[in-house]
């Protein structure tokens, strides 16, 4: 038998995911600021692209959080 779907902590989980992703964006930016001269241009571009994807994910997660918080 399948487990019942428990969504009671969805808003909290989304909030934690947002916080973790924001930290990753900041950590990556800090890394680039400190080590840009030591890494290849390709790696810099990959890290910047990854951060852009994270920022888009944060935007989506914030909308999802609001939807969950309003339920």
In this predicted structure, what is the pLDDT of residue 8? 75
Domain that holds residue 39: 11-69
Return phi, psi of residue 29, to 5°: -60, -45
Q: Is the pLDDT of residue 18 over 90?
A: yes
Express as a percent the part of the chain with pLDDT over 90: 79
In this predicted structure, what is the pLDDT of residue 69? 84
Whole-number Å distance between alpha carbons of 52 and 21: 11
- Would residue 35 count as lying in a domain? yes
pLDDT one-digit tens code per residue, 42-65: 999 999 999 999 999 999 999 999
- Would residue 19 count as lying in a domain? yes
How many folded domains does the chain comprise?
Answer: 1
- Would residue 3 count as lying in a domain? no
Whole-number Å distance between alpha carbons of 23 and 4: 32
- Would residue 4 count as lying in a domain? no
- Would residue 1 count as lying in a domain? no
Mean pLDDT of 20-49: 97
In this predicted structure, what is the pLDDT of residue 71? 73
């Amino acid at each position: 038998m399948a487990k019942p779907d428990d969504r009671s902590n969805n808003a909290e989980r989304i909030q934690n995911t947002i916080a973790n992703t924001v930290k990753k964006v900041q950590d990556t930016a800090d890394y680039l600021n400190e080590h840009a001269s030591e890494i290849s241009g390709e790696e810099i571009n990959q890290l910047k692209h990854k951060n852009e994807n994270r920022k888009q994910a944060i935007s989506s997660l914030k909308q999802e959080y609001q939807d969950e918080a309003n339920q």
